[in-house]
Amino acid sequence: MKVRDIIEKACHENILTKDEIKLLLMAEGEDKNLLFKTADMVRKEHVGDEVFLRGLIEFSSYCKNDCFYCGLRKSNSQAQRYRMQEDEIVEVAKRAYQMGYRTVVLQSGEDMFYTKDRMCSIIKKIKQNVDVAITLSIGERSYDEYKAFKDAGADRFLMRFETSNEKLYRQYHPGMSFEKRIECLKWLKSLGYELGTGFLIGLPGQTIDDLAQDILLVKELDADMIGIGPFIPHPQTPLKDAKEGSVDLTLKSIAILRLLIPDANIPATTALGTLDPLGRQKGLMCGANIVMPNVNHLKYKLKYELYPGKICINEDATKCRGCIESIIVSLGRKVGQGKGQSRHYKRAA
Ligand code: SAM
Ligand code: SF4
Ligand code: FES
């Protein structure tokens, strides 16, 4: 089958076989251009020209896990750890609202200091103070906790499965299990969260076959939001000498998923912007419709080091807001107004 026919099939049927996805991932030249152009058209048709901004608040750099790729892993004794107090988190959320954000993403390592009650209290206080959607990105918890967070007012949850290759998953996530990860994602969906998931591009040992499987798993989980980012080696982790993930494969994965879930929200990730100075722009031009600028205080931004060289690390939140708006406008797009709920979620509800 020709790449052109596969793209057409994806547009009409929103499903592809693994082999078809592999051919798209390997597309070059005119074929690749067609993939990106089609994904951009599908994005425009299904989610419009608005680019929604999410204010990211990284509230704790403690983590009980030891993911091989991540600078926050518990074995990294050189990592700088901090925990923000409840009032401080609420204050940053209020500041984000004043800057125009209508969604805040509360992200952290897996830090059990934030018990069910503490998290619920943070969620409720934010909701009492400002009219924002709350996305949680805090990793694996029990069903009861997820339910309590939802009842407290959390709207969305982001948790990547990272890789669908179970052998690689085991290798890079000591003490964790792929099965558990998927179970958590299914719980979140059943509880009515707007569900975000996705994977890392370029983990050592990952093949094109694996990536195609990752794409199929996002489709199978029926994600409302899709987070795909290139792996970037961190010097204080076991993967320090590995090669970074491919920007090109990241863009192709974004484009393919735009064709398979046309009304999902897809961010152009910070990691993409870190590996390529124009990475976020490129992402927005091949299917993405979300950007997640960090709105936290500089003193914390510097300490939340998942990987080195993160963009915006020395920039004040107000500067990033202006910068990102000018990027969006330069692409002929506009900044989204309102909370920017995933249309995929809305349609299913
Ligand atoms: N602890 C929560 C979790 O794992 O879901 C949320 C925070 S975690 C830091 C957010 C994401 O960062 C992970 O899903 C992972 O894909 C990404 N990440 C971690 N280390 C990375 C690296 N070295 N390069 C690129 N992305 C990385
Ligand atoms: Fe912890 Fe998340 Fe980093 Fe894994 S990716 S070490 S769970 S912060
Ligand atoms: Fe942070 Fe451009 S978005 S400096």
pLDDT of 348 > 90? The answer is no
Contact 84, 300 (CB under 8 A): yes
Q: What SS3 class is residue 8?
A: helix
Query: Hunting for tokens 């569900």 — which residue is that?
Result: 195
pLDDT of 347 > 90? The answer is no
pLDDT digits (tens, 9 = 90+) for 279-296: 999 999 999 999 999 999
Q: Which of 84, 58, 89, 55 is nearest to 71 (CA)?
A: 58
The residue range of the domain holding 220 is 3-348
pLDDT digits (tens, 9 = 90+) for 58-71: 999 999 999 999 99
- Mutating to test ligand 2, I would choose from 58, 61, 70 the residue with most ligand atoms within 8 A of its C-beta, which is 70
Q: How far apart are the CA of 199 and the centre of ligand 2, in A? A: 13
Confidence label for 307 from pLDDT (cuts 50, 70 and 90) = very high
Q: How far apart are the CA of 21 and the centre of ligand 2, in A? A: 29
Contact 50, 336 (CB under 8 A): yes
Q: For residue 320, what is the domain's CATH number?
A: 3.20.20.70
Q: Which atom of ligand 2 is nearest to the CA of 306?
A: 3
- Over range 236-254, report the average pLDDT: 98
Cα dihedral 142, 147, 152, 158 sign: positive
Name the closest ligand to CA 272: 1
Q: Whose CA is nearest to atom 2 of ligand 2?
A: 109
pLDDT digits (tens, 9 = 90+) for 196-224: 999 999 999 999 999 999 999 999 999 99
- Over range 96-101, report the average pLDDT: 97
| pLDDT value of residue 349 | 81
Q: Which of 150, 41, 101 is nearest to 340 (CA)?
A: 101
pLDDT digits (tens, 9 = 90+) for 222-236: 999 999 999 999 999
Q: Residues near ligand 2 with C-beta < 6 Å? A: 63, 65, 67, 70, 72-73, 109-110, 139
How many angstroms separate the CA atoms of 250 and 269, rounded? 10
How many angstroms separate the CA atoms of 211 and 217, rounded? 10
Q: Which atom of ligand 2 is nearest to the CA of 74?
A: 6
Q: Which atom of ligand 3 is nearest to the CA of 324?
A: 3
* Total tally of structural domains belonging to the chain: 1
pLDDT of 309 > 90? The answer is yes
Burial 286-315 (b: 16+ CB within 10 A, else e): bbbbbbbbbbbbeebbebbbbbeebbbbeb
| pLDDT value of residue 33 | 98
pLDDT digits (tens, 9 = 90+) for 145-193: 999 999 999 999 999 999 999 999 999 999 999 999 999 999 999 999 9
How many angstroms separate the CA atoms of 132 and 150, rounded? 14
Q: List the structure tokens of 319.
A: 């500067």
